[in-house]
Amino acid sequence: MSDYTLTKESPLNGVEHEFDGITIAEVIDQSLVMVAMPRDKVDKIDSAIKKSCGLSIPTMGHSTHSSDALITLWRLQKNQVLAYYPYAGDDAEADIADKLNAPAYYTDQSDTWAMIRVSGERSRDVLERICPLDLDPDKFTIGSVARTVMEHIGTIIYRDGDDSYVLLTMRSFSHSMLHAIEVSVKNVL
């Protein structure tokens, strides 16, 4: 056994920047677990998560919340959902499997993604310059989620409030993504 102890670090060291009407902050308290649903088990999974957490499988591009509002499920693909929820431990996979108690396949992706929240009344002005999706507040409604490309970087965008968006990119792209957002902020202000 080695004598070293590894310390957990978030991809962007908890970066937080305030601008006029825009806040950029790394999200560090959330975990992300992929929940793969075999085609013949979708109904079983839907009723199991309803029973355990009051959740349902969201429709494509939308999210659902558990009855305690802690677990959010995102639907980006036909045969899987992503569970986004506050968890600070080291085994989100076992933790969410235990909470959902459904016959699905779980993969912890928490540490592979960097999560950045862009919020504030001018957040849409910043995002519309880098996001190819229509972010009209009536179209990309609260709870909407999508995977797309921003500045050539594969990105998941989730709207978690009136003027609040969480962007997820692969961890190795986190600094490039932060740079893209900061450049967009400079262009807007």
Partner 1 sequence: MIINHPLLGPRDSEEFVYLGSADLIDRPDWESRTVADDFHQYQYIRENIAGDNRELWYHEQGDQSWLLVTRNTLTHEIINVELAQDVSRSMGRGK
- Which has the closest alpha carbon to 166: 2, 47, 69, 27? 27
- C-alpha–C-alpha distance, residues 130 and 8, integer Å: 30
Chain positions 144 to 163 lying near partner 1, rule: CB under 8 A, are 146-149, 154
Q: Is 105 in the site for partner 1 (CB under 8 A)?
A: no
- 3-class SS of residue 130: coil
Q: CA 94, 105, 107, 130 torsion: positive or negative?
A: negative
By CB under 8 A, which span of 25-33, 83-91, 96-104, 130-138 interacts with partner 1? 130-138
Q: Between helices 92-100 and 42-53, what is the axis angle to 10°?
A: 90
Q: Is 142 in the site for partner 1 (CB under 8 A)?
A: no
Chain positions 50 to 79 lying near partner 1, rule: CB under 8 A, are 60-61, 76-78
Chain positions 19 to 38 lying near partner 1, rule: CB under 8 A, are none
Q: Is 141 in the site for partner 1 (CB under 8 A)?
A: no
Assigned token pair, 92: 């989100």
Pick between residue 90 and residue 136 the one whose CB is nearest to partner 1. 136
Q: Given the rule CB under 8 A, which residues bind partner 1?
A: 60-61, 76-78, 132-134, 146-149, 154
